[in-house]
Structure 1
């Protein structure tokens, strides 16, 4: 009978003894209480406590943690904006007791301080300044949190402003302003490029005209030199300069007409180009017709006085064609 009682007691004692051992994970601290009162802090590894007397009140994470807080506030120029503040914090090894017993909910405490600092700093800035000076906001949040949370055993590693989100209408207006500014810059670059092309084209045309004028001047210089040599040759054979000039002009005129006549497909007509060219041409044609009629009448009168009768043209008729079978021998 006693053996049957001893075995259950032995099993119970074994489990009670086994309950006295526990493990603590790396980067974690365990709070051990004895009869409801703080007793000790146990770190990573296999630990021992008195069964039924000691108990594990809780565990504290010693790793670096991150808390994201979204704060909505108003800027100095009355624009509502949402900021996302990322707070990286850690429980100090030597202040595990304070972190566990002095603060019930550290996340709520940190969130409250972040709201307080952001809503104190951002209303002092315009919207553009919030984007440019977001690091100042992060530094102010970190300084305030370090001062407040160090009492509770928490160390603020770093604070970051990870997002700035203005009101939707404000974002649309900012995008339109940005687009207009970029279009303005693009238009200025296009205008500058067009100006460069125009200047380059004008310089090229000026250079072309200069070279063309230089070529014409050289051509005329050579023509004048050739005319001078031609006049010297004619002077050597007894023709004076005025007659030589007239002869050269007439020769060039007929040379031009000859060169035009050599082209079989040409449709060029040489006409005077003076303002009175039309009337002069008509008068010359009328004078030519009158002179031709007068010469014709004078020739008829002279022939009549000499008794010369103009011959009449006799039309020779061809003999009739013989019909088929007719004998042409007479």
Structure 2
């Protein structure tokens, strides 16, 4: 009967079945197995309705199945079979991320079947996807180990950067210290050379003046000797220095100093004449 006023002849015409065109829902709970033999538990909600209000559609809904229970059994088993077929081609690690793909695959396969029964699939929602307790524990361990691995890698990278920067800083410090030491050594060498030049120049000048005054130049050497001994005594800082204080030793030392002085004087005179 269509909406509005309808007339039925009593005893001849009877109501065989009442078909509601409102939306219907069904809760589904079932289990599927992945390609790597992991059991997956599904909890889903199925929303469907009669395709339209045409007479042929209503007759199809009313007479396709013996009763509503048989229809629900066929509907649920069809949905379960579609999901199990899809999950059987996937690995355990992929199932949780394929919720949308599972729903789209089931809708694509189920729409044509439901239309042949006079129904239309409105929505399919995967409310929960879980694994067995042992698998859940192993998955949690995998996630924890991956987090530890990522943390270790980050820590290693940070330590590598720290050590690299420290090595670069140490290398730069060594380089700066070496440059400073090289410059200091060069300055010290230049200072020693200038000191020696001034000493030689002073000794040459003193010797020349003493010769002009008919004095013995060994007096200069003797004065240098006494100044050296005095310097040793004042600045020795506890060090022990053995000096030959005998007359022979003093004369031998004086001769050596005179020979050095004369050699420096001749070299200086030769340079001056040049």
Mark yes or no: TM-score above 0.5: yes
Correspondent of 1:123 among 69, 85, 88: 88
2: CA distance, partners of 1:255 / 1:180: 75
Which stretches in structure 2 are left out of the alignment for 5+ residues? 206-220, 247-274
Counterpart in 2 of 1:294? none
Contact 1:68 1:85 (8 Å CA) reproduced: yes
Q: Summarize deviations over 1:22-53 as a string: whole Å, max 9, x none.
A: xxxxxxxxxxxxxxxxxx221xxxx4345996
Contact 2:19 2:58 (8 Å CA) reproduced: no
Return the structure number with greater strand share.
1
2: CA distance, partners of 1:177 / 1:51: 69
How do residues 50-199 of structure 1 correspond to structure 2 at under 5 angstroms? 58=18, 60-63=20-23, 65-93=24-52, 94=54, 95-103=57-65, 104-105=67-68, 106-199=71-164
Correspondent of 1:223 among 173, 180, 188: 188
Q: Summarize deviations over 1:160-190 as a string: whole Å, max 9, x none.
A: 4443211011100111011111101211111
Change (3 A) 1:254 1:199: farther
Other structure's SS at 2:149 match: helix
How do residues 13-32 of structure 1 correspond to structure 2 at under 5 angstroms? none
Q: CA RMSD in A?
A: 3.8
1: CA distance, partners of 2:232 / 2:118: 118
Q: What's the CA shift for 1:123?
A: 3.0
Change (3 A) 1:185 1:91: same
2: CA distance, partners of 1:213 / 1:190: 34
Q: What's the CA shift for 1:133?
A: 4.0
Q: What's the CA shift for 1:67?
A: 3.0
Contact 1:60 1:100 (8 Å CA) reproduced: no
Tell me: higher relative CO, structure 1 or 2? Use CA pairs within 8 A at least 6 residues apart: 2
Change (3 A) 1:132 1:255: farther
Query: Based on CA coordinates, which of the two structures has the bigger radius of gyration?
Result: 1
- Normalised to the residue count of structure 2, the TM-score between the two structures is 0.64
Q: What's the CA shift for 1:213?
A: 1.3
Matched residue count: 216
How do residues 247-286 of structure 1 correspond to structure 2 at under 5 angstroms? 257=235
Q: Summarize deviations over 1:267-315 as a string: whole Å, max 9, x none.
A: xx766xxxxxxxxx6x97xx9xxx9xxxxxxxxxxxxxxxxxxxxxxxx
1: CA distance, partners of 2:102 / 2:81: 12
2: CA distance, partners of 1:214 / 1:79: 69
2: CA distance, partners of 1:134 / 1:210: 62
